A and B are shown apart, each in its own frame.
Chain A
Amino acid sequence: MLIRTMVRTSSVPWAAGPLFLLVWYMSDDLGRRVVPAYWESASSIPAYCLFAIAPVCAACAAWEAGRLKRGGVAQLGAARAQVMVVAQALAPVALLGLAAVTGSFLTVRVSMGSALDWPSVSVIGMITVVLAAHMLLGFVVGYALPRLLAPALILVLDYLWMTLPPTFDTMWVRHLTGHLETGLPVTDRINPDSVIAPAVVAAGIAAAGLLVALTSGRRRMAAALAGVLGIGLGGLAGQHLVADWGPSAPALARTDQPACAGKKPEICVPRELASVLPELEGASAAVLPRLADAGIPAPQRLSTASTATRVGPETWRVYASPYLTEDDARAEIAEAALPDLPDCLAHTDAYVGDPLPLRVWLLLAGGVPDDVVTEHYGPDALPAMAGVRAQSEEKQLDWFRRNLNLLKQCEPSPETQAIVR
């Protein structure tokens, strides 16, 4: 059968318009928020859009199954094999999913403005397996339930499966759907298990769907039992991979070479942020000598490093974004003098201190203009620090070190409570 005929006789043209519009809107909106050119982060956007693409494909597949069932195709002496009948019914649905995902990638590429490398192959693979699984599941549901009920039921249940797990207290469930979080930091790469787990679960569902779809008569019951076993095994394997995870996948630092500039200190950022190196160099030349005068010695290295990596005392972790201005760069360099603090709130709801006053002090000591400090920390920041800044340099440094030590031990530091951003 011609592909044009297959598409014309299917339900796909009805669903295509709204789906493409939805996917375009979401991809464009989210694509503008990722770090330009960083495909690893941008690749999660089409996976995020799966919450719309997968249910629509499942509903279309259920509709096609109902159409075949109503036509009594399985009972007729068809010249084509059952697998061909199913494949031809599902081909337009697969095309719909493929077109939506491709459209999402293209929209993200246009919204990002630039790109290094290519989209993540592992994410593309996961999306393909998940879509195939949802499509086959929809087809089986369409065969098993009345045509009136099946497409609507699978649309709603599939939509809820993709979107509800993030609201569950049981964290690992959300990592099995394939509906990836967006906003991966430019310093991190996608955790492979966050792609493998949903793919394994989906593979189990796809295998079950395929078994049931390609069998008929008495063998279908045995196929259904084998399918349940397949889904159970896939679910167990996927759950095993993400069982200990929290709301997000554990961060993994990138392994590729960063872009670096300067000697003392050496400034390193991910390749996608190489354009802001001049701003950071200029800011470090202005800020570091002033901090040294205030008693904070300059580091050997300034690095935009992942939170998943530990940095030594001679390296300051500096935050950089593609839209860094000169003033922002100065503020970031000054703030970078604050070392990594423990996650004090991980085990308690009690007050564990506030590093904001120390950050404000670092900005002021580094010569960052007052208006930039106010812009970053609010109108109360400068008045609250007036008392500290009025003291001698030695006393200011003592205040900073004393409070830093308290914060490192998760001890409340009363002297830093005054500023609320």
Chain B
Amino acid sequence: MTLWLKARRPAVLAAGILVFAALSTAVGGRLVGLPSLSGTGTTTVPLLLFVPLAVCAGLLLCLDSGAQAAEITGARHIATYDRCLTALTGATAVGSAALAAVLRDAPVAVAAGRNALFLMGLALCVRAAWGSGVGMLVAAGWVVMVTLVGYDAYRTPRVWAVLGLAPGDVAGIALAGCCFAAGLGVLGRSTAGRRLR
């Protein structure tokens, strides 16, 4: 396990989580007007939507470190270790987002933790099929897409987009949880797309 931990370069992951926590605290509940395709041409979205990408990038860089070929043929439970690491990362992201919400007195910042879970799950699912590069791009593309079509003309977030939903929205929490669980589930099967990395 020590070798696995060294190979995963935990410092990269820690940097991703730190950037996420710092940006969540710095941005707080700040809203920005971005172009939208929903009626009015512009929609006001929380700048916080973009922040979970930091922890997502840290996790993917971390999971892609190490000797992949040796891990595939090895007898150690690498996939289980990776799942534990990912789950721990998710919990840390949720915790740091909650802390940021308290520090900035911006309840909306709690949603950054849920969004981090959703984006990590999405990136891991895509990674299993097409590799980490595409996984990260899809996560970034999803955030951009949410700013464009994730809200209706009355600025109500669409449920399927997840990221714009209120922190306590049950559907949002359920979707993010399912996506993260799916990401954890496919972690051991990420060999197919590795040639595309």
Q: Hey, which bits of chain A sit against chain B, CB under 8 A?
A: 18, 22, 25-26, 29, 51, 55, 59, 63, 66, 146-149, 151-153, 155-156, 159-160, 163-164, 166-167
Closest chain A CB from B89 CB (angstroms) = 16
* Interface of B: prevailing SS: helix
Q: Name the one of A26, A51, A152, A164 contacting B57, with C-beta atoms under 8 angstroms.
A: A152
Say whether B152 faces chain A, with CB atoms less than 8 Å apart: no
Residue ranges of B at the interface with A (Cβ–Cβ < 8 Å): 32-35, 37, 50, 53, 57, 60-61, 64, 132-133, 136-137, 139-141, 143-144, 147-148, 197
Smallest Cβ-Cβ distance to A160: which chain B residue: B50
A167→B45 CA distance, assembly (Å): 12
**Do A148 and B140 have beta carbons less than 8 Å apart?**
no
Closest-CB distance, A338 to chain B (whole angstroms): 30
Inter-chain contacts of A156 with B (CB < 8 A):
50, 53, 140, 143-144
* Number of A-B residue pairs having CB atoms within 8 Å of each other in the complex: 57
Closest 5 CB pairs of A and B: A152-B140, A152-B136, A167-B32, A148-B132, A163-B34
Residue of A25, A29, A55, A148 near B136 (CB, 8 A) is: A148
23 pairs, CB–CB < 8 Å, chain A vs chain B:
A22-B148, A55-B144, A63-B137, A147-B197, A148-B60, A148-B64, A148-B132, A148-B133, A149-B57, A149-B61, A151-B133, A151-B137, A151-B140, A152-B137, A152-B139, A153-B57, A155-B144, A156-B53, A156-B143, A156-B144, A163-B34, A164-B32, A166-B33
Q: Which residue of B lies closest to A156 (CB)?
A: B140
Alpha-carbon separation in the docked complex, A26 to B149 (Å): 12
* Distance to closest chain B CB from A205 (angstroms): 21
Please, which residues of chain B bring their CB within 8 A of the CB of A155?
Answer: 137, 140-141, 144
Residues of A within 8 A of B136 (CB): 148-149, 151-152
- Distance in angstroms from B82 CB to nearest chain A CB is 16
Enumerate chain A residues within 8 angstroms of B148, measured Cβ to Cβ: 22
A306 and B156 CA atoms in complex are apart in Å by 38
A329 to B64, CA, bound (A): 68
Q: Which of A18, A66, A153, A163 contacts B35 (CB 8 A)?
A: A163
6 new A-B contacts, CB < 8 A, other than A55-B144, A149-B61, A164-B32, are A63-B137, A148-B57, A148-B136, A152-B136, A163-B34, A164-B34
Q: Which residues of A contact B35 (CB under 8 A)?
A: 51, 163
Q: How far is the CA of A279 from the CA of B197 in the complex (A)?
A: 65
Asked if B61 contacts A26 (CB within 8 A), the reply is: no
Which chain A residues lie closer than 8 Å to B139 at the CB level?
152
Q: Do the beta carbons of B37 and A26 come within 8 Å of each other?
A: yes
Which B residues lie within 8 Å of A160 (CB)? 50
The residues of A that contact B33 with a CB separation of less than 8 Å are 166-167
Contact residues in A for B133 (Cβ distance below 8 Å): 63, 66, 147-148, 151
Complex-state Cα separation, A167 to B133, whole angstroms: 31
Known: A155-B137, A156-B53. A148 touches B197 (CB 8 A): yes
- Complex interface: chain B residues within 8 A of A148 (CB): 57, 60-61, 64, 132-133, 136, 197
Chain A residue contacts of B32, Cβ below 8 A: 164, 167
**A298–B34 Cα gap in the complex (Å)?**
47
Q: Are A25 and B61 in contact (CB under 8 A)?
A: no
Which residue of the partner chain A has the closest CB to B42? A166
Q: Which residues of A contact B137 (CB under 8 A)?
A: 59, 63, 151-152, 155
Q: How far is the CA of A191 from the CA of B197 in the complex (A)?
A: 46
Which B residue's beta carbon lies closest to that of A48?
B35
Tell me the complex Cα distance, A129–B191, Å: 41
CA distance A22 to B35 in the complex (A): 12
By a CB distance below 8 angstroms, the chain B residues around A164 are 32, 34
Cross-interface CB contact of B61 among A51, A63, A146, A159, cutoff 8 Å? A146
The CB with the most chain A CB atoms within 10 A, among B32, B50, B136, is that of B136
For A153, what are the chain B residues with a Cβ–Cβ distance below 8 Å? 57, 140
B35, chain A: closest CB distance, angstroms = 6
CB-nearest residue of chain B to A14: B134
Q: Which interface residue of A55, A66, A156 has the most chain B CB atoms within 10 A?
A: A156
CA A146 – CA B63 in complex, angstroms?
14
How many angstroms between the C-alpha atoms of A361 and B140 in the bound complex? Answer: 56
A257 to B57, CA, bound (A): 57
A287 to chain B, nearest CB (A): 35
B60 contacts which chain A residues (CB < 8 A)?
A: 148
A246–B140 alpha-carbon span in the complex (Å)? 32
Partner of A25 from B37, B143, B197 at Cβ < 8 Å: B37
Closest to B139 in A: A152
A22: chain B residues within 8 A (beta carbon): 37, 148
Which residues on the B side are within 8 Å of A149 (C-beta)? 57, 61, 136
Q: Which residues of B contact A152 (CB under 8 A)?
A: 53, 57, 136-137, 139-140
- The chain A residue sitting closest to B53, CB to CB, is A156
- Which residues of the other chain, B, contact A26 by a CB distance below 8 angstroms? 37
Closest CB of chain A to B55's CB: distance in Å?
Answer: 13
In the complex, chain A residues whose CB is within 8 Å of the CB of B132: 148
Q: How far is the CA of A167 from the CA of B46 in the complex (A)?
A: 12
